[in-house]
Structure 1
């Protein structure tokens, strides 16, 4: 076992200590583990990182224990001789679980209780040696070494662990904490001190037209979604004149490999495959603004592979559309798109319930591709880290 200090801002008894634990790294991959940890560390605590404003309250450590084989498992099975036993429940690029949580738990406790001269562990981060998207929150922050998605998952899951806050994205179920409130509490929101116009609080008018997590393999066939717009068909008016189509794909390296049409019209995807994501088989997110909104009444989205896409060999999990949602926005000033605006925005859960969140899309707890927390979450992060440190001092006495 090798433990190293990665970022030290003060005495470990007066800081919150994050500890990376290796899984799926062989002895020959010690250097890769160190490099992966340092990239992730730089992402979160750099001056412009999601946790740059609390870098003074954090220490970051890394512990390397070699595994027999490189990588993580799939289909509910970790690789033989894995240090912690990280695995995917299937082949798809979704959650990553730990087979031996008792080992991670005991290791973190051992450091926390002074079992080693160097290192401390208030929050364990289990880092799997895998180049593709995956992770999970909870007792442990589980992530992979994906160049593109590892930092995104780390920021988001640490938000749950350290603040703690609930989700802000649509289609989930865990809506709680400082960034979530009930519609019935509109006049006394948890973030009322941050509101741009506290005397004129309103719920920004948006509607969820379609929401799905299909995890559909496009090599098997096209994916179709037929749904109704919230625009008033009877009066032939567009009360929701603009919309956002948000989808995610995996194992689709080029925009020329996939066709995405809305009501038979192809959407140009070239601008949604940035340079750093070109050629990648990793999971990717596309946010497509529909400036003309949806058609009145019935709408149809179709996703299919092009001839070029069909010829390409599939990556892990297959050529998939993994998620799809369409959000419609009220016209005539009924929805505030202003960047930086803090108000009351609807979030739609997987069971149809509605809660409120502080900002539209400017928080990584809602949009994993966004690099920072909103002010409500950012301040709560600092507050909760200070609270954790205060509790540690009381315990030491």
Structure 2
């Protein structure tokens, strides 16, 4: 196996290390593997999703040569290092049959450099899994879609936001019996003076995983006729050409266009009028059959929601309020936005403001805001203290994002250092000989400086990171150093 540094931003002891390990890449496919990992890394950290927190990460790639190319299907792994496989042939979950081998491979990056292992399948179509190993594929269409959603669960304390799931917890979820003014994202409300549950109802929630060659697939539902509009969300695979799949509501066909590829894709259909009171039918049928040997034309999932008119339901995805989410068991919780977060809409490359704040606080809670402190004597006279924080704000390698977006605040404090004899008497360097502690004195002339000329004695440096993407800091946005500085 070979280890490659894709992005190196600092020591693993004070960075978040993500390790990508390929499965099903033969020795001759090593260039393909490295190209895939660089592309996925660029999609994740060079674009919108994790771009603002990139300096907190190191990204690694482990090439494990495989005897077979690709991954298994039908529950049978191929001869690959980590034994990835699909349960059937549907574009859904991908499982690891050799987790111990994956754990061993991840340790090749170093004893402190395997925070988040990820397995990338040499497969051109949608599939993956969350958990200890974030699993995705090399797919140009959906590889990043799966990766950023599942890795989002690991990097941030977030649950699902889509309807029909099971795990609703974390910074983006609240129980429906919680007073709206007390939701944990209340400090992000778009209109805090007019908070109300956004009125909508799920009429259809179905994970079909249905091969359309078996015949039409019909879903029946009822409406009470009180809603002003509706939205239909569909995911399907194998629908590359126009008329590959036919969709109708109450016998009226919806306009459908192929996506030009066979991978799983996500579709939205909106209507500006509601359903009449009574029973309705949603039908999916095969149009043009799939060519021999091609992936099946498969209906993966269907969701139909009715919405109230504005302002009872704000459709704007940037609006933050209390949007209802219905679990698989019918339990209602709240989420922050309509469709404004990749934790609900996997087609999006961005987190909502609430999840982005959770990302910052989660990552910084695991790191030290101050990377290093050095004390030097550049010449006769007073010593020099140099503070090196995490590479954020003006220390970003790619350039400062601007003080109105993020900045550091630095505060310096001092107090006399006890003599060696006094330290021996009380057993500590921070106490005066009589056992009392002298108060720290703020040195304001050093405010917001990262290099300070100081006198011998005890010194404390406090560094605070401020970002417009964080409104509720939770105590993880500060770092502190204390130490004794000797004279030159």
Decide: shared fold, TM above 0.5. Answer: yes
Aligned-partner Cα distance in 1 for 2:276–2:232: 14
RMSD: 1.8
Match of 2:105 among 95, 104, 107: 107
Aligned-partner Cα distance in 2 for 1:9–1:344: 38
> Equivalent residue for 2:64?
65
Secondary structure of the residue aligned to 1:32 is helix
Unaligned runs of 5+ in 2: 372-478, 480-488
Match of 2:207 among 199, 206, 213: 213
Match of 1:264 among 248, 251, 263: 251
Q: Does 1:230 align with 2:219?
A: no
Unaligned runs of 5+ in 1: 115-119, 232-238
Query: Does the C-alpha gap of structure 1 residues 221 and 113 become closer, same or farther in structure 2, counting only changes over 3 Å?
Result: same
More helix by share: 1
TM-score (normalised: structure 2): 0.73
Aligned-partner Cα distance in 1 for 2:328–2:150: 19
> Equivalent residue for 2:448?
none
- Contact 1:230–1:328 (CA under 8 A) maintained in structure 2: no
Query: RCO (CA 8 Å, sep 6+): is it higher in 1 or 2?
Result: 1
Quote how far apart the aligned CAs of 1:112 are. Answer: 4.4
How many residues matched?
A: 371
Q: Which structure would you say has the larger Rg?
A: 2
Quote how far apart the aligned CAs of 1:110 are. Answer: 5.0
Alignment map for 1:1-397 (pairs within 5 Å): 1-46=1-46, 48-80=47-79, 82-109=80-107, 111-113=109-111, 120-185=113-178, 186-231=180-225, 239-270=226-257, 273=258, 277-278=259-260, 280-306=261-287, 309-310=288-289, 312-313=291-292, 315-316=294-295, 318-331=296-309, 333-390=311-368
Deviations 1:331-351 (A, max 9, x none): 252111124111000111111
Deviations 1:48-81 (A, max 9, x none): 420011011111110101110000111111102x
Quote how far apart the aligned CAs of 1:391 are. Answer: 11
Quote how far apart the aligned CAs of 1:198 are. Answer: 2.2
Quote how far apart the aligned CAs of 1:383 are. Answer: 1.3
Query: Does the C-alpha gap of structure 1 residues 336 and 210 become closer, same or farther in structure 2, counting only changes over 3 Å?
Result: same
Secondary structure of the residue aligned to 2:282 is strand
Query: Does the C-alpha gap of structure 1 residues 339 and 167 become closer, same or farther in structure 2, counting only changes over 3 Å?
Result: closer
TM-score (normalised: structure 1): 0.90
Aligned-partner Cα distance in 2 for 1:313–1:171: 34
Quote how far apart the aligned CAs of 1:202 are. Answer: 1.1
